[in-house]
Amino acid sequence: MTEDALAYVQQRGLGRLAEKMGIEIIEFSVERSVARMPVEGNTQPADLLHGGAYVVLGESLGSMSANLYAGEGRLAVGIEINASHTRSATSGYVTGVCTPIHLGRTLTTHEIAVTDDQGRRCSTIRITNLIKDL
């Protein structure tokens, strides 16, 4: 994390939902952002990580990364998100790695690959954000 990116995350925060879910930023830059989230406390009745929890992790990373890219005086807002879940996490943590697919003047698209503690991909999330002037 660069000092500027770290200050950005600390100033802005991750939002109340992400904080309730235990999401922690590990690395944060325009080129790559990483966060992790515990499985415990974020499961569905079958004790599997809830599909919506994967999406919250992905949207948190993708939106924060888009807003860092947008810069001061601009705001990135999500306009589309999708997820494909390919494996179930049942314990430990999942880790999301967010990388840009497209960084334009008014649109960004990021892919977030979410893996379990064994490095197996559990979900792939793609988010597109619209960048607006404030």
Residues 36 and 26: beta-carbon distance below 8 Å: yes
pLDDT score of 8: 76
pLDDT score of 67: 95
pLDDT score of 71: 93
| Residue 25: alpha-carbon gap to chain centroid | 9
Query: In CATH, which superfamily holds the domain spanning 2-131?
Result: Hotdog Thioesterase (3.10.129.10)
Can you give the pLDDT of all 134 residues of the chain as single tens digits?
556 776 777 777 888 999 999 999 999 999 999 999 999 999 999 999 999 999 999 999 999 999 999 999 999 999 999 999 999 999 999 999 999 999 999 999 999 999 999 999 999 999 999 999 99
| 3 tagged catalytic | no
Residues 66 and 74: beta-carbon distance below 8 Å: no
Token pair listed for 63:
């939106």
**Which of these is catalytic: 24, 27, 31, 59?**
59
